[in-house]
Amino acid sequence: MERYDYIIVGSGIAGLYAALLARKHGSVLVLTKGSIDDCNTRWAQGGIAAPIGAEDSAQRHLDDTIAAGAGLVDPIAARVLAEEAADRIDDLVRLGVPFDTLHGEIALAREGAHSLPRILHAGGDSTGAHMELTLSSLAQRSNITVLQFTLATETLLEGGRVAGVRALDERSGRSTDYTCRHLVLATGGAGQLYRVTTNPEVATGNGIALAYRAGAEIMDMEFFQFHPTALKLPGVQPFLISEAVRGEGGLLNDVNGVRFMKEYDKRAELAPRDIVARAILDRMQKTGADHVLLDATSAFGGHAAHVIARFPQIYRTCRDHGLDITRKPIPVSPAAHYTMGGIRTNVWGETTIPGLYACGECACTAVHGANRLASNSLLETVVFAKRVIQRTIKAPHDPVGADPTPDAIDLSEAAPAETPSPSRQAVQSLMWDHVGIVRDGDSLSRAKATLSAWHTALPKPTDRPAHELADLVTCGRLVTEAALIREESRGAHYRSDFPQPHEEWRHHIVFRKDA
């Protein structure tokens, strides 16, 4: 049994940034189920938001974040995010992240629901990759121990406090217990719940399921953000077409060439993502098409060179599939993108279990509320990863209290049933068809019953695919049951049978095992 001061599960930006900070205060082990560079954040194109412009302020960023969150943003967490943003950008610059510049200053772009330009990019639309590669390079040159292809499968508790983690070596099949003083979950989201997703195959909700099984609280799982514009070509994996394309002047037209967003929202293409995603879905249904068209040919005043320079990754990917985005519009449709709910934490990343912390997409401080503001996700990773490490060295552990609302519920096990164990594809299809962009009570009830039966039918996992499938089923149940409970529409959660928000639902839904 090996002992460390810090064990960090996950090698995305949140995990690596936390590890680089923690190494100054003790021994650090990073566990990652893939390679150190295999994570969700490296695919982030949109950039990182920070109020560093001359006319911007933390208050304006805070106001935009709260407005986008549809009444469920925690104002304390949002203020922390906005007020600490500039300092975290300074940290990233010092670490070597090559943010794009214009006339010697960091260039700022605008995205949907932001009141003015405040989005920083690196390598145009390769921001996540540049941040990830910078941090992973530093981590591999430091005294941090990194175990790749090692999957955390169980949180070890002792007297109600974290004692360590059990992990599976995917290559040998052996499980090993590692003990620690502080366990930080930074495992990313659960985009692989859905058949159509912008997330890589590693995004299977491992940390959320791990925390739930240990008894930590899970919150806001019904709020799953669908990105409105993913590349839609026959036989091609969905590929994110950044919101920044619309921010720079890209227009949405239906297959008949009609620009339609003004019919749905006065902000048109710059409306929040949930509105744009539902508008696209509605237009697809009305035209009988499986996509709409995102026209970037007029962006930057029609200067093709500027489009290529600003969106090199998108340009190359589309060109590889025979599409020149400077000459023709991009066929797009919505795809699952971001898990706004997750492991409930306070603004220091503390969970309801002493010694267990969470940050990044797997955590839920309620900073995003019911609908994440574009490009706040990368900012969240560094702001709250920093605060996790600060908390471990500056104050005794004082975990966030159990949620007092009556909604804290357990996923009770289903009665044994003659149900075969599902495949990952079956789970993804069920979630896409019944717990997707537009939901209703009947579909959610059917999905709940099926997922509950599958949960019972799953054999004890012994390898990575089986563990990932079990975690997806757990996360699917959390999303589905929360969506069924919330009888209203709010932010990214839309119920066709309850199409309006209601004040009595302006609170969080929390799950806790054995609640």
Residues designated catalytic: 273
Hunting for tokens 């012994």 — which residue is that?
Answer: 462
Q: Is the separation of the CB atoms in 225 and 273 below 8 Å?
A: yes
Q: Is the separation of the CB atoms in 219 and 369 below 8 Å?
A: no
Cβ-proximal residues to 218 (8 Å cutoff; 6+ apart), any chain = 208, 211, 212, 341, 342, 343, 344, 364, 478, 510, 511, 512
Please state, in angstroms and rounded to a whole number, the distance separating the CA atoms of residues 35 and 227: 26
CA distances, 408 to each of 331, 361, 455, 510 (Å): 42, 21, 20, 5
Measured in whole angstroms, the distance separating CA 297 from the mean position of its chain's CA atoms is: 30
From the list 86, 120, 93, 91, the residue with the least C-alpha distance to 21 is 91
Residue 459: CB atoms within 10 A of its CB come to 9
Please state, in angstroms and rounded to a whole number, the distance separating the CA atoms of residues 268 and 220: 27
Lookup: tokens for 293: 């068209």
Answer positive or negative: Cα dihedral of 14, 191, 320, 249. negative
Helices 75-95 and 376-394, interaxial angle, to 10°? 90
From the list 480, 474, 499, the residue with the least C-alpha distance to 433 is 480
Hunting for tokens 């709260």 — which residue is that?
Answer: 66
From the list 491, 184, 172, the residue with the least C-alpha distance to 338 is 491
Residue 504: CB atoms within 10 A of its CB come to 8
Local structure of residue 438 (DSSP, 8 states): S
Long-range CB contact pairs, 2-5, < 8 A, 24+: 2/29, 2/176, 2/178, 2/179, 3/164, 3/178, 3/179, 3/180, 4/28, 4/29, 4/145, 4/178, 4/179, 4/180, 5/180, 5/181, 5/182
Q: Is the separation of the CB atoms in 357 and 350 below 8 Å?
A: yes
Name residue 345's amino acid.
Answer: T
Lookup: tokens for 223: 């709020």
Helices (H), 7-117: 13-22, 58-68, 75-95
Lookup: tokens for 104: 């010697």
Local structure of residue 26 (DSSP, 8 states): S
Name residue 252's amino acid.
Answer: L
Measured in whole angstroms, the distance separating CA 489 from the mean position of its chain's CA atoms is: 20
Please state, in angstroms and rounded to a whole number, the distance separating the CA atoms of residues 191 and 226: 9
